[in-house]
Amino acid sequence: MNEPKGKSGPPKKVLIVDDHALVSEGIAQLIGTKGGLTVCGTAATAREGFDLVTKTKPDLVIVDLSLPGKSGLELIKDIHAAYPEVAILTLSMHEESMYAERALRAGARGYLMKSEGGQRLLEGIQRVLEGGIFVSESVASRVLERFSGRRAKPTLNPVEALSDREFEVFLLIGRGFATRQIAEQLHLSVKTVEAYRGSLKEKLKLASGPELVHYAISWQHSQAIPSA
């Protein structure tokens, strides 16, 4: 694999935003083995991450989606709006088929699942730093179709109108998580999750909690993309 551009000059600065210290440490160690790259900081929350972007001026930010408080998708939007020149690579445990398009729309240039390993992460870092887009072939095809005549018409799917946080709650409901479990997963209060469940029922025009669960499960099954 070729080295990232700029190897002969200052190393490219990478900021890691992940609320699991062991994950951040592992990524930092991996990056440390690659010439032309250096880790300029790590953060565990979206607020810390944005502050470090301001202070360290990284070339690339690696963002996990599941962060305490403000979500990774919201952080991506904030960074892209304030610092459009900063490249963003999403690294997440969530299925690419569910989140990649939202991450790209938010301003990320790549999406990689944590299960894909260190070599793929280094490939993604290089691609994004060179100005490219890094996603799987299946997701790339879906994105291209959205800009082709086949999918040029506005979608009538109400799920796509959900906010990013509502979408996260919606997916967890479809995976069988109870309200308290969702609150723990997303670092939110039970009351806040209940409010999101109410807004989901309203936006999706569903009358009850069981209807919401059934709809969420059915939708996720319909969106599943077979792994290559």
What does the domain layout of the chain look like in residue ranges? 12-145, 158-223
Q: Which uninterrupted H or E stretch holds 136?
A: none
Task: Please tell me which of 10-19, 89-98, 154-163, 213-222 the model is most confident about, judged by mean pLDDT.
Answer: 10-19
What kind of fold does domain 158-223 have according to CATH? Arc Repressor Mutant, subunit A (1.10.10)
* pLDDT per position as a tens digit, 64-79: 988 877 889 999 999 9
Best CA proximity match to 193, nearest among 210, 211, 171, 217? 171
Helix axes 190-203, 209-223, angle to 10 degrees: 70
Mean pLDDT along residues 80-96: 91
Average pLDDT, the chain: 86
pTM score of the predicted model: 0.76
> Which CATH number is associated with domain 12-145?
3.40.50.2300
Arithmetic mean of pLDDT, 127-131: 95
pLDDT, tens digit, 9 for 90 and up, residues 173-228 = 998 999 999 998 888 899 999 999 999 999 999 999 999 999 999 988 776 543 33
165-193 residues labelled b (16+ CB within 10 A) or e (exposed): bbbbbbbbbbeebebeebbeebebeeeeb
